[in-house]
Amino acid sequence: MNKIVEKENFSEKVVKIVVEAPLIAKARKPGNFVIVRVGEKGERIPLTIAGADVSRGTITIIVQKMGVSSTKLCNLEVGDYVTDLVGPLGKPTEIHNVGTVLCCGGGVGVAPLLPIVEGYKKAGNRVVTVIAARSKDLLILEEEMRKHSDELIVMTDDGSYGRKGLVTEGMEEVIKREKVDECITIGPAVMMKFCSLLTKKYEIPTMASLNSIMVDGTGMCGACRVTVDGKTKFTCVDGPEFDAHKIDFDEMMSRLGGYKEEENDKMDHFQN
């Protein structure tokens, strides 16, 4: 049982939660995630650790309402308890000083990107960050990102804020303008697929952080398997980050829909 000590609504659908987890706060590295369960009938869902405060013994997670489980979590208030919280899971991001790093985040994927941006900056890189959202009210963590990046480009699909256009447009502009040594992309699977196609064209090494469906998060079930370089990998223990140019994104996207009907039934059941 872990107590929620802080909560902030970023938008109608996106919530920031700060929760007590002293050991995880101490052990976590950028790129790590946790598995959370709400209620005795609750599902185990993976969420990236967006930040941690070792002295307070807390971690920050940023959650988007998708279905039953994320909604239940978003509905908890300060003082409530998360039934189960386990982590840190996954391999941390391999952060080195490589020169210029282009960090691209879309939607709620901006949250897991934050500690990575911080890490790259700390390691002495020039960090150019592109964040994107469908519209202004869905944009998150702009200030935090600006603080830790050398340059921040904001894109919205509808042009309600920043520049109008997709994340890839902002990326290409940077790539054409200056030498980019490494790229990292986190967001919806389609977005990562197109980021990856773009950087492949320019031959820029790129990592993508995958948000596969998971159960245990410890390598026990294989629900999270993806094909990377023709081989089956488990996202939770072999990832979540992989060489984007080698990921089979089409398979990954179809696997994300593997429980769609069943999840929708659960949502109907929950709402009624």
Partner 1 sequence: MERSEEYIKNERKQEWRVELQKLTKAKDRMAIERVEMTEMAPEERIKSQRVEVNVGLTKEQAMLEATRCMDCVNPTCMEGCPVSINIPKFIKNIERGNILEAASVLKETSALPAVCGRVCPQEVQCEQRCFYVEKLNLPSVAIGHLERFAADFERESGVISVPKIAEANGIKVAVIGSGPSGLSFAGDMAKLGYDVTVFEALHEIGGVLKYGIPEFRLPNAVVDVEIENLRKMGVKFITNYIVGQTASLDDLREEGYKAFYVGSGAGLPRFMNIPGENSNGIMSSNEYLTRVNLMGADSEESDTPILRGKNVVVVGGGNTAMDSVRTAKRLGAERAIIVYRRSEEEMPARVEEVHHAKQEGIEFLTLTNPIEYIADENSRVKQIKVQKMELGEPDASGRRRPIPMEGSEYTIDATVVVVAVGVSPNPLIPNSVEGLEVSKWGTIEVVKDKMQSSIPEVFAGGDIVRGGATVILAMGDGRKAAKNMNIYLQEKYLSNKVEH
Known binding positions for FAD: 62-64
Which residue number, 53 or 178, has a Cβ lying nearer to ligand FAD?
53
Footprint (CB under 8 A) of partner 1, residues 81-110: 83-89
Parallel, antiparallel or unpaired: strands 51-53 and 58-64: antiparallel
Cα-based distances in Å from 102 to 142, 161, 236, 239:
16, 21, 24, 20
Shorter beta-carbon distance to ligand FES: residue 10 or 242: 242
Tell me which residue of 109, 99, 110 sits closest to 145, measured CA to CA: 110
Task: For partner 1, give the closer residue by CB, 24 or 117.
Answer: 24
Residue with the shortest CB distance to ligand FAD: 67
Encode the chain in three state secondary structure.
CEEEEEEEECCCCEEEEEEECHHHHHHCCCCCEEEEECCCCCCEEEEECCEEECCCCEEEEEEECCCHHHHHHHCCCCCCEECEEEEEECCCCCCCCCCEEEEEEEHHHHHHHHHHHHHHHHCCCEEEEEEEECCHHHCCCHHHHHHHCCEEEEEECCCCCCEECCHHHHHHHHHHHCCCCEEEEECCHHHHHHHHHHHHHCCCCEEEECCCCCCCCCCCCCCCEEEECCEEEEHHHHCCEEEHHHECHHHHHHHHCCCHHHHHHHHHHHHC
Q: Contact with partner 1 (CB under 8 A): which of 99, 124, 159, 219?
A: 219
Where does this chain touch ligand FES (CB under 6 A) — which range of 72-80, 106-114, 153-161, 215-223? 215-223
Site for ligand FAD in 49-68 (CB under 6 A): 62-64, 66-68
Of 149 and 211, nearer to ligand FAD (C-beta) is 211
User: x/- binding map, residues 234-253, to ligand FAD, per CB under 6 A?
Assistant: ------x-------------
> How many residues of this chain interact with partner 1, rule: CB under 8 A?
44
CB nearer ligand FAD, residue 2 or residue 69: 69
Give the integer Cα–Cα distance in Å for 193 and 250. 8
Q: For the segment 184-203, give every residue that binds partner 1 (CB under 8 A).
A: none
Shortest distance, CB of residue 12 to partner 1, whole angstroms?
22
114, 139, 214, 252: residue in contact with ligand FES (rule CB under 6 A): 214
Q: Which is nearer to partner 1, 80 or 181 (CB)?
A: 80
Residues that bind partner 1 (CB under 8 A): 23-24, 27, 37, 39, 41-44, 68-69, 72, 83-89, 215-216, 218-223, 225-227, 232, 237, 251, 254-255, 257-259, 262-263, 265-266, 269-270
Footprint of ligand FAD on this chain (CB under 6 A)? 33, 43, 45-48, 62-64, 66-71, 108, 111-112, 211-214, 240, 256-257, 260, 263
